[in-house]
């Protein structure tokens, strides 16, 4: 095939291949080639890395386009417009769409198309930053994660076994502890889930309770079943907000 080089169309009339691209630099097996009509591809090291076809489908690392980068109508089920779809172009019913909705809120969504209907699976609200998902709850709703947690031994020298967002435990006396957060809570109106274990065998159960909360600390007191202050071998704390 004749190579045409002019000031209007540039390089033309040569399609090339992954091993010998039509447009090359100093590396003869790296560049741009044209594998089919209305299709352009990029190769490195003699292998195809990216392809775009006439429908706007883009294949990454494959000769079969797997993503669509143009706008796709999602229908009334979602009330928005998908901006990026991932999935096989020949199996549209299993596509997953990342979109910015068109309701004016500009939420970031992940939607899935099943049997011709789109369903919202994950959503991050633009105005609040709330993370929402449906994991068997029946609808997409805000997820309230654990903001801090700790498992520690409250007898003798207090020792943390494992924790998240907790820097240390302060021992204030028998059965009296302060949990110190690494990152402060937005306010002190959080929920603390507490549980505890026996200090020694046969000494009775342990019941921890909150006795003071701030944005940076939670003070708890542990008592036995006779309502007397007592240390616990297993003190478990989880904070939700």
**What average pLDDT does range 127-137 have in this prediction?**
82
CA distance 12 to 92: 34
Percent of the chain past pLDDT 90, that is, above it, reads 32
**What average pLDDT does range 142-169 have in this prediction?**
94
Whether 165 and 101 map to the same domain: the answer is no
Whether 120 and 150 map to the same domain: the answer is no
Last residue of a domain, one of 87, 115, 142: 142
Whether 61 and 77 map to the same domain: the answer is no
pLDDT tens readout for residues 50-102: 888 887 777 776 555 554 444 444 343 444 555 555 555 445 445 555 565 54
CA distance 172 to 167: 16
Range of the domain at 95: 68-142
Whether 132 and 155 map to the same domain: the answer is no
CA distance 139 to 126: 19
- How many distinct structural domains can be found in the chain? 3
pTM of the model: 0.59
Last residue of a domain, one of 92, 115, 142: 142
Q: Is the pLDDT of residue 38 over 70?
A: yes
Whether 236 and 152 map to the same domain: the answer is yes
Whether 159 and 175 map to the same domain: the answer is yes
Percent of the chain past pLDDT 70, that is, above it, reads 71
């Amino acid at each position: 095939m004749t190579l045409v080089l002019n000031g209007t169309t540039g390089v033309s009339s040569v399609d090339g291949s992954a091993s010998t691209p039509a447009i090359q630099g100093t590396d003869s097996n790296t560049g741009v080639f044209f594998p089919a009509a209305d299709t352009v591809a990029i190769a490195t090291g003699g292998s195809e890395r990216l392809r775009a076809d006439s429908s706007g489908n883009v294949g990454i690392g494959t000769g079969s386009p797997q993503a669509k980068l143009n706008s796709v109508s999602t229908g009334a089920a979602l009330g928005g417009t998908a901006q990026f779809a991932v999935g096989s172009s020949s199996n549209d019913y299993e596509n997953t769409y990342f979109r910015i909705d068109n309701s004016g809120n500009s939420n970031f969504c992940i939607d899935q198309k099943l049997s011709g209907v789109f369903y919202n699976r994950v959503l991050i609200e633009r105005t609040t930053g709330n993370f929402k998902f449906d994991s068997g709850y029946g609808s997409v709703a805000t997820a309230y994660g654990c903001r801090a947690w700790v498992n520690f031994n409250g007898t003798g020298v207090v020792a943390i076994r494992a924790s998240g967002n907790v820097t240390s435990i302060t021992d204030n006396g028998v059965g009296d502890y302060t949990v110190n957060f690494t990152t402060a809570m937005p306010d002190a109106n959080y929920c603390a889930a507490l549980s505890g274990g026996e200090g020694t065998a046969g000494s009775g159960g342990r019941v921890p309770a909150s006795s003071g909360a701030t944005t940076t600390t939670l003070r708890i007191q542990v008592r036995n079943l006779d309502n007397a202050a007592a240390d616990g071998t297993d003190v478990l704390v989880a904070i939700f907000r």
